[in-house]
Amino acid sequence: MEIIAQHGHILLILGCIFAFFMAWGVGANDVANAMGTSVGSGALTVKQAICIAMVFEFAGAYLAGGDVTSTIRKGILDPELITSSPQLLVYGMMAALLAAGTWLLIASLKGWPVSTTHSIVGALVGFAAVGIGVDAVSWGKVGTIVASWVVSPVLAGTISFGLFMSVQKFILDTEDPFKNAKRYIPVYMFMVGFMIAMVTVLKGLKKLKLDIDFGLSSKFMNAMPIALIAGIIVAIIGASMLKNIKEEVSDNQSRFASVEKIFAVLMIFTACAMAFAHGSNDVANAVGPLAAINSVIQSGGEIAAKAALPGWILLLGGIGIVVGLATYGFKVMATIGKKITELTPSRGFAAELGAASTVVFASTWGLPISTTHTLVGAVLGVGLARGIGALNLKVVGNIFMSWVVTLPAGAGLAIIFFFLFKGIFGA
């Protein structure tokens, strides 16, 4: 308690700096998961992707980032074991942020698309197991998170596979793909608008203290009318944008080129959805530990069972993600969309919408999945729809290896930083 009273302000300032650094890493590395398919397929330029991501990453982080944050903060560690030494929790959370941010910086410089969720969870488990005790880790919760890392790419891959197969059936493999593209793509646009609106109403509006109640049986049903209207509006806007696209030549290759132009318009919407979904899920990796630090310091050293998540913390995380992607996100973004499999706008659409759906659902349920795993699974699903030969298995293997390294790297760095802070400020 004495250390918290004496050094509380310094610890909180350091926590904010490290959280911003971690959020920068999320933006610099993980933005590839949100926007890499759009750039890789040629639907968007790097500058366009960054502009879209800046708006929707921030919106997702600020409006819908709260539920996953509580899982990261309260679910993995058992704070009851350190109630008499709250400074250890503060040191640990600072160490986790600095460790994960450092690893993401290294990975971004190398161009490796690693998991920010892996980074922070590995860091938290590392400091808790070594710095406090093995019993401080809620291994059951960690097991659930690890399981989600397997489930999320499989789920995203399955959804993306199904979406691309539907595109092939209703559009690409028909006698008039251009005409059918104009007919069915507004339906996909409706799905994008509906999905974003559902998670925003269910999770985001609580933070804005707006309560929508149509007198229906559940929150889900109350959100449905708003989401339906939003989906219809997005579909109408998209359909109007498609009117300007004309079929140029009647030969087979040019017909598909015209169809891909239509999908490029659709990918503007799916890129927005993926950026929103990414921000809603991955802001937790930066602001979760900071929320714990703030809670302990503001209470004078008490480790409460529940702590409010101030808006300024989500704001800090959102700004950090935006700065990261604007300053260094281009490096990973420009490569990830081209190395796993060859992407066209139609394939990129299926991958992005499948991944975005998975991430938004996970954010709604409070499950901290890895966006990296989700999007790679989605791209693999799209690639498998064309056969195993469409995949660059060497690149896939290298990505899997970088995932394996991330957990121990985060844990090792966190242990070092934990004992460093302990030595500086005292035990």
Q: Pick from 270, 282, 232: which is nearest to 64 by CA? A: 282
Please give the pLDDT value at position 287. Answer: 84
**Partners of 391 in beta bridges:** 341
Please give the pLDDT value at position 94. Answer: 95
| Beta carbons within 8 Å of 84's beta carbon, 6+ residues apart | none
Q: Please report how many Cα atoms fall inside a 13 Å half-sphere around the Cα of residue 16, on the Cβ side.
A: 14
- DSSP SS3 for 341: strand
Please give the pLDDT value at position 15. Answer: 95
Sign of CA dihedral 230, 184, 378, 334: negative
- DSSP SS3 for 391: strand
Q: In angstroms, rounded to a whole number, what is the distance separating the alpha carbons of residues 275 and 39?
A: 13
Q: Pick from 378, 381, 360, 368: which is nearest to 192 by CA? A: 360
Are 194 and 232 contacting, i.e. CB atoms less than 8 angstroms apart? no
How wide is the angle at C-alpha 72 spanned by C-alphas 218 and 157, nearest 5°? 70
| Distances 2 to 14, 15, 241 between C-alpha atoms, Å | 18, 18, 62
Sign of CA dihedral 328, 329, 334, 335: positive
**Partners of 137 in beta bridges:** 77
Ramachandran angles phi, psi of 251, nearest 5°: -70, 160
Domain ranges in the chain are: 2-425
Please give the pLDDT value at position 254. Answer: 60
- DSSP SS3 for 70: helix
Please give the pLDDT value at position 50. Answer: 83
Q: How many other CB atoms are found less than 10 A from the CB of residue 396? A: 17
Are 344 and 379 contacting, i.e. CB atoms less than 8 angstroms apart? no
Are 16 and 316 contacting, i.e. CB atoms less than 8 angstroms apart? yes
Are 178 and 255 contacting, i.e. CB atoms less than 8 angstroms apart? yes
Are 12 and 294 contacting, i.e. CB atoms less than 8 angstroms apart? yes
Sign of CA dihedral 38, 114, 25, 354: positive
Q: In angstroms, rounded to a whole number, what is the distance separating the alpha carbons of residues 242 and 268?
A: 12
Q: In angstroms, rounded to a whole number, what is the distance separating the alpha carbons of residues 96 and 83?
A: 19
Q: Which amino acid is at 311?
A: G
| Beta carbons within 8 Å of 353's beta carbon, 6+ residues apart | 159, 160, 163, 188, 191, 192, 270, 273, 274
Give pLDDT tens digits along the chain (427 positions): 678 878 888 999 999 999 999 999 998 888 766 788 888 888 888 888 888 888 888 888 777 766 655 655 556 777 677 777 888 889 999 999 999 999 999 988 877 778 888 888 889 899 888 888 888 888 887 787 777 777 888 889 999 999 999 999 999 888 888 889 888 989 998 988 888 787 677 665 555 555 566 666 666 677 788 889 989 998 998 888 888 787 776 555 566 788 888 888 888 888 888 788 778 777 778 888 888 888 888 877 777 655 567 778 888 988 998 889 888 887 777 667 777 788 888 888 888 888 888 877 776 676 667 777 888 888 888 888 877 777 888 878 877 888 788 888 999 999 999 999 999 988 7
How wide is the angle at C-alpha 336 spanned by C-alphas 392 and 328, nearest 5°? 155
**Partners of 341 in beta bridges:** 391
**Partners of 417 in beta bridges:** none
Q: Pick from 281, 212, 225: which is nearest to 72 by CA? A: 281
- DSSP SS3 for 137: strand
Are 112 and 403 contacting, i.e. CB atoms less than 8 angstroms apart? no
